[in-house]
């Protein structure tokens, strides 16, 4: 017995020693996170106590029509619904890993028939064996059984717990992924809504321009009859009028497509988008407070998602490394077994049980385990680079949009001045044309310049509002 115990101990020791050769995971310093700047703009100091990214979206957006559209999108958007199913899949993965920590117990019944050859050890033994005095073993021999079976892998190295922790981290990353989809969805709905309002205002401008050109055309015809203008002037005004009417239909088509684009985000078939266009040009964008760059790590769901995926991948490496260690499995059965069903109720003779403990570990040909570890190690390095890239892109997004807000505000102010000046020049040119002191080219050029300036002013207002929405999303806003 002592020799047997020494033999078992030697095997266990060899398995442990063999497992000590498990490779180590690659360690890379996360310099991007460590060296994140203190401020977005080195020339200005940001206030850590003011950060628009923490403002709930219902407080950030004040247009009731836009708020209503966002609420519909949050209920019906297909991409969001797909993401919710990814969360359910990840949740099931956690339950699967958790289940491995507990014994697997199953119940079963079986029946069989067996005939051993007479000239075998089993057949010869059965032939000379009596069940009871005077009763020989039946031939062929039946077998009826039923009972419970259990298998349990003892988590001596915490490998199964590590796998469960990895699954939990992945599940939490899918939750953050859902939050990121929410943030993007709200941004898309708001941006498209402002673009739709801009198109509505551009359509109004082109219609006003058409009326202006119709009056100019009538004046040119009257002046031609009075020999104060030529047929060329009349044709030029007619061509300009036709061009403007064609532009009107182009804008109408763009409005239809933009409405359908919003309806697609809302997960519904085409229908009119309720909106109020009259106050678009007088809308003042909300003031955005950026906070400090380090707050992005806590506010932006895509950064938190990448961080959790990095944690999950590191745990996967740890679990893959523990595959080199020996594993301990226990299996047991308990039930009733007999060659005849009526004997199953005879206790304790029909009771059968089995208990086996197995300690096993890889010794030779570990290529599959090594490949699994190397794959996990490469994935955790890849996840680190992805995490760093997400942080860097988030910082650059905010820095670029901060600059864009300042420049677009200046651009809007200058375009407003240009529009006012050109509106005045149109009145002057029309007055001079009526008095035959200016030709038709001056009138046309002034009208074209004024139209272009007004169109650009509307685009500037749309960009002004959309940029504020974009930086709100870039700061981590929209999902709360």
Domain of 451: which CATH number? Answer: 1.20.1600.10
Cβ contact 437:424 at 8 Å: no
pLDDT digits (tens), the chain, 480 positions: 444 455 455 455 544 554 557 888 888 888 888 899 988 876 666 777 889 999 999 999 999 999 999 999 999 999 999 999 999 999 999 999 999 899 999 999 988 888 888 788 877 777 777 777 777 777 787 888 989 999 999 998 999 999 999 999 999 999 999 999 999 999 999 999 999 999 999 999 999 989 888 887 887 888 788 776 678 878 888 998 999 999 999 999 999 999 999 999 999 999 999 999 999 999 999 999 999 999 999 999 999 999 999 999 999 999 999 999 998 999 999 999 888 888 888 888 889 999 998 888 887 778 899 999 999 999 999 999 999 999 999 999 999 999 999 999 999 999 999 999 988 887 777 777 666 666 666 777 777 888 889 999 999 999 999 999 999 999 999 888
Among residues 31, 47, 469, the alpha carbon closest in space to that of 293 is found at 47
Q: Is residue 350 domain-shared with residue 437, that is, in the same domain? A: no
Q: Is residue 347 domain-shared with residue 388, that is, in the same domain? A: no
pLDDT, residue 292, reads 93
Q: Is residue 438 domain-shared with residue 354, that is, in the same domain? A: no
pLDDT, residue 7, reads 47
- Domain total for the chain? 2
Q: Kindly state whether residue 436 falls inside one of the protein's structural domains.
A: yes
Tell me the β-bridge partners of 143: 112
263 φ, ψ to 5°?
A: -60, -35
pLDDT, residue 3, reads 46
Q: Kindly state whether residue 310 falls inside one of the protein's structural domains.
A: yes
pLDDT, residue 105, reads 92
Q: Compute the C-alpha angle 222/227/229, nearest 5°.
A: 70
Q: Is residue 287 domain-shared with residue 149, that is, in the same domain? A: no
Q: Kindly state whether residue 283 falls inside one of the protein's structural domains.
A: yes
Task: Please report how the helices 159-225 and 78-99 are oriented relative to each other, as an axis angle in degrees rounded to 10.
Answer: 180
pLDDT, residue 4, reads 46
Q: Is residue 92 domain-shared with residue 232, that is, in the same domain? A: yes
Q: Is residue 171 domain-shared with residue 68, that is, in the same domain? A: yes
Environment class of 91 (CB within 10 Å of its CB; exposed 0-12, middle 13-18, buried 19+): middle
pLDDT, residue 12, reads 52
pLDDT, residue 130, reads 72
Q: Kindly state whether residue 4 falls inside one of the protein's structural domains.
A: no
Q: Is residue 194 domain-shared with residue 309, that is, in the same domain? A: yes
Q: Kindly state whether residue 214 falls inside one of the protein's structural domains.
A: yes
Q: Is residue 210 domain-shared with residue 74, that is, in the same domain? A: yes
Q: Kindly state whether residue 117 falls inside one of the protein's structural domains.
A: yes
Domain finish residue from 342, 360, 378? 360
Cis peptide before 135 (omega within 30 of 0): no
Task: Please report how the helices 159-225 and 440-474 are oriented relative to each other, as an axis angle in degrees rounded to 10.
Answer: 170
CATH assignment of the domain containing 123? 2.20.200.10
Domain finish residue from 314, 342, 360? 360
pLDDT, residue 479, reads 86
3-state secondary structure of 466: helix
Range of the domain at 343: 103-128+136-154+327-360
Q: Kindly state whether residue 20 falls inside one of the protein's structural domains.
A: no
Q: Strands, E, within 311-363: which ranges?
A: 327-338, 351-360
Domain finish residue from 317, 343, 360? 360
3-state secondary structure of 356: strand
Q: Is residue 147 domain-shared with residue 183, that is, in the same domain? A: no
């Amino acid at each position: 017995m002592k020799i047997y115990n020494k033999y078992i101990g030697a095997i266990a020791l060899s398995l442990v020693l063999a497992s000590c050769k498990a490779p180590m995971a690659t360690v890379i310093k996360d310099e991007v996170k460590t060296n994140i700047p203190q401020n977005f703009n080195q020339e200005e100091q940001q206030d850590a106590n003011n950060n628009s990214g923490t403002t709930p979206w219902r407080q950030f957006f004040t247009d009731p029509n836009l708020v209503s559209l966002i609420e519909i999108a949050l209920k019906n958007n297909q991409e969001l619904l797909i993401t919710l199913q990814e969360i359910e899949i990840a949740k099931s993965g956690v339950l699967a890993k958790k289940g491995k920590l507990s014994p697997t117990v199953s119940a079963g019944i079986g029946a069989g028939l067996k005939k051993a050859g007479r000239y075998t050890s089993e057949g010869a033994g059965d032939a000379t064996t009596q069940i009871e005095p005077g009763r020989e073993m039946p031939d062929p021999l039946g077998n009826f059984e039923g009972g419970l079976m259990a298998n349990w892998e003892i988590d001596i190295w915490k490998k199964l717990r590590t796998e469960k922790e990895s699954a939990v981290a992945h599940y939490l990353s899918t939750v953050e992924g859902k939050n990121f989809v929410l943030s993007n969805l709200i941004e898309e709905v708001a941006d498209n809504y402002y673009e739709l309002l801009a198109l509505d205002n551009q359509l109004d401008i082109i219609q006003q321009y058409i009326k202006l050109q119709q009056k100019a055309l009538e004046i040119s015809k009257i002046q031609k009859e009075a020999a104060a203008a030529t047929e060329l002037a009349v044709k030029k005004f007619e061509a300009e009028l036709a061009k403007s009417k064609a532009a009107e239909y182009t804008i109408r088509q763009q409005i239809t497509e933009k409405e359908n684009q919003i309806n697609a985000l809302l997960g519904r078939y085409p229908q009119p988008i309720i909106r109020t266009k009259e106050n678009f040009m007088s809308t003042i964008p909300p003031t955005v407070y950026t906070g400090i760059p380090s707050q992005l790590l806590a506010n932006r769901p895509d950064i938190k998602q990448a961080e959790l995926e990095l944690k999950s991948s590191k745990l996967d490496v740890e679990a893959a490394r523990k595959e080199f260690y020996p594993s301990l499995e226990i299996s047991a059965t308990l039930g009733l077994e007999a060659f005849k069903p009526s004997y199953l109720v005879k206790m304790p003779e029909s009771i059968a049980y089995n208990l086996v403990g197995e300690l096993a570990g890889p010794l030779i040909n570990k290529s599959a385990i090594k490949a699994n570890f190397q794959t996990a190690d490469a994935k955790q390095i890849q996840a680190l680079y992805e995490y760093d890239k997400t942080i860097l892109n988030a910082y650059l997004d905010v820095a670029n949009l901060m600059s864009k807000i300042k420049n677009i505000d200046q651009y809007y102010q200058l375009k407003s001045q240009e529009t006012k000046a050109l509106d005045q020049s149109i009145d002057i040119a029309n007055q001079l044309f009526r008095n035959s002191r200016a030709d038709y080219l001056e009138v046309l050029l002034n009208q074209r310049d004024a139209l272009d300036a007004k169109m650009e002013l509307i685009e500037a207002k749309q960009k002004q509002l959309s940029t504020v929405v974009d930086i709100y999303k870039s700061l981590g806003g929209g999902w709360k």
